[in-house]
Amino acid sequence: MNQLRRQMLQATSCGFGYLALNALCAQQAKAGSHKTFGKQAPPQIPRAKRVIFLCMSGGPAQLDTFDYKPQTGKKKHPGSVTPFQQRGESGLWISDLLPETARHADKLCVINGMNADTGNHAQSFLQLHTGDRLRKRPSMGSWISYGLGTENQNLPGFISLNASKPSVYSSAFLPPVFEGTPIGVNGENMSTATISNISGKHLSLSEKRQQLDFVQSLNRQHLANRPDDQKLEGVIESMELAFRMQSQAPKILDCRNETQATLDRYGVGKKISEGACRPTDFGRQCLLARRFAEAGVRFIEVNHGSWDQHKNHRRDLKANCETTDAPIAALLDDLDVRGLLDETLVVWGGEFGRPGLTPEDGKNETGHNYRGFTFWLAGGGVKGGHVHGKTDDTGARAVEGQVHFRDLHATILHLLGLQSNELTFYHEGRKHRLTGPEEAKIVKGIIA
């Protein structure tokens, strides 16, 4: 019967509901109790309502962006190959490669003491997103959506823009309603990106409603014989959500009502300089992130790849900074002007960092550095114009204010009003959490 139902859903025009299941489905259960898709009240007073994660995959070179290491003494050590300046009233050191982001120095909380467990891309990227570097686990966005629900019943709680890997938005063992909805793939022009199969025009809205009602009647008949089947209840709910999304999601993705001045500020359509490994429409991603944040989406991830600069470090670093600088600055500008920055936590960083080069060094390639690298946060209850932590003189290792990924996760949850030790899900005989079995500490020094 289940197989027949799946075939029917795929074959009919209600297939949008079936295809949206993995991104939008099922009603929640936690240790035997229901937890619905709707808005949830956090257990403690939140400083932020939502998160925008600017994921710089590949490993940004911290010594050329936010961790200034001037060359000192007779012995040259690896440091920045680009000039830095002190910015804003806070005097935050920021690279000249990021002049637009530097305008927001007094809003940035820079963490220079980040560290992870491995220098392998895949494992560290997975740990950044899920807290575990080896096994499939729910993504951070899924955990947050699970803990807080959605502020907009017509949209999913978690959107992943320009996703490169399913691990970025997977809900793993959490109910599928908390899985991220991917929009676009790595390198795609976001002007043509859509949410799969929610905007078909082969039938009118009323005809789609009729077909969905028929399929839902079959589902409810099936549910009557399985009153405790929460997954089936979730299927019913998720198909209703997919139907409701037709009224709002396509409008958010359509940026034609934005002014040309806004598009220019975000660098939409701008050609980047030679050197980026793969050009992406990053400006449109940032603009869509703002639009989804305004619409009430709880967690939005924006992805920019090609920071894996083993060769042509100087050229590719410049291109990546040029690509991302203005769009990020425009996003911070708009969130601030629209009164959203105080309640939106913006997070920037990648799976690790990179060792530096000496300006005189003919070498033009860098490796991986997971023992000391940089993230920055803005808005959402963190200190602006603040630096937390420190790497050693070479920038190779965090020596003060170390922040592991699990600590970053715990702090993000705390700012959202969630308790990392209490946000758990019972699976395979034990409780799981984003921060894993080891102790995670809230980084209180960065909280305003």
Residue 261 CB neighbour total at 10 angstroms: 8
Give the total number of structural domains in the chain. 2
Do 111 and 218 have their domain in common? no
Contact between residue 129 and residue 301 where contact means Cβ atoms under 8 Å apart: no
Q: What residues make up the domain containing 12?
A: 1-30+203-245
Taking the C-alpha atoms of residue 387 and residue 393, their distance in angstroms, rounded to an integer, is 16
pLDDT band at 355 (very low <50, low <70, confident <90, very high): confident
Of 4-8, 115-119, 308-312, the poorest mean pLDDT is in 4-8
Instruction: Pick the last residue of a domain from 245, 275, 300.
Output: 245
238 or 343, higher pLDDT: 343
Do 193 and 211 have their domain in common? no
Do 104 and 130 have their domain in common? yes
User: Which residues are within 8 A (CB) of 4 and not within 5 positions of it... i.e. 6 or more apart?
Assistant: none
Is residue 95 assigned to a domain? yes
- What local confidence, expressed as pLDDT, does residue 34 receive? 41
Q: What percent of the chain is modeled with pLDDT above 70?
A: 77
Considering 165-169, 194-198, 243-247, 277-281, the range whose residues carry the highest mean pLDDT is: 165-169
Residue 259, CB half-sphere, CA atoms under 13 Å: how many? Answer: 3
Is residue 254 assigned to a domain? no
SS (H, E, C) 314-351: HHHHHHHHHHHHHHHHHHHHHHHHCCCHHHEEEEEECC
Is residue 217 assigned to a domain? yes
Do 220 and 90 have their domain in common? no
Taking the C-alpha atoms of residue 67 and residue 397, their distance in angstroms, rounded to an integer, is 12
- The whole-chain average pLDDT of the chain stands at 83
Q: How far apart are the first and last CA of the chain?
A: 55
Instruction: Pick the last residue of a domain from 221, 245, 269.
Output: 245
- What local confidence, expressed as pLDDT, does residue 360 receive? 59
Do 53 and 8 have their domain in common? no
Give CA separation, 254 vs 141, 202, 381, in Å. Answer: 24, 20, 31
Do 214 and 151 have their domain in common? no
Is residue 358 assigned to a domain? yes
Is residue 291 assigned to a domain? yes
Instruction: Please tell me the pTM assigned to this model.
Output: 0.85
The CATH code of the domain that includes 395 is 3.40.720.10
Considering 239-248, 258-267, 313-322, the range whose residues carry the highest mean pLDDT is: 258-267
Identify the H or E element spanning 110. Answer: strand 108-115
Do 67 and 149 have their domain in common? yes
Is residue 256 assigned to a domain? no
Do 191 and 330 have their domain in common? yes
pLDDT digits (tens, 9 = 90+) for 258-281: 999 999 999 987 766 555 444 568
The position carrying tokens 């990179």 is: 354
Is residue 167 assigned to a domain? yes
Do 439 and 307 have their domain in common? yes
Do 306 and 383 have their domain in common? yes
Instruction: Pick the last residue of a domain from 181, 215, 245.
Output: 245
Do 364 and 397 have their domain in common? yes
pLDDT digits (tens, 9 = 90+) for 379-401: 999 999 999 999 998 888 999 99
Q: Return phi, psi of residue 416, to 5°.
A: -90, 0
Is residue 162 assigned to a domain? yes
Identify the H or E element spanning 253. Answer: helix 249-253
User: Which residues are within 8 A (CB) of 300 and not within 5 positions of it... i.e. 6 or more apart?
Assistant: 50, 51, 52, 53, 158, 159, 160, 161, 289, 292, 293
Do 150 and 276 have their domain in common? yes
In terms of Cβ atoms closer than 10 Å to its own Cβ (0-12, 13-18, 19+), residue 257 is: exposed
Of 54-58, 185-189, 322-326, 404-408, the poorest mean pLDDT is in 185-189
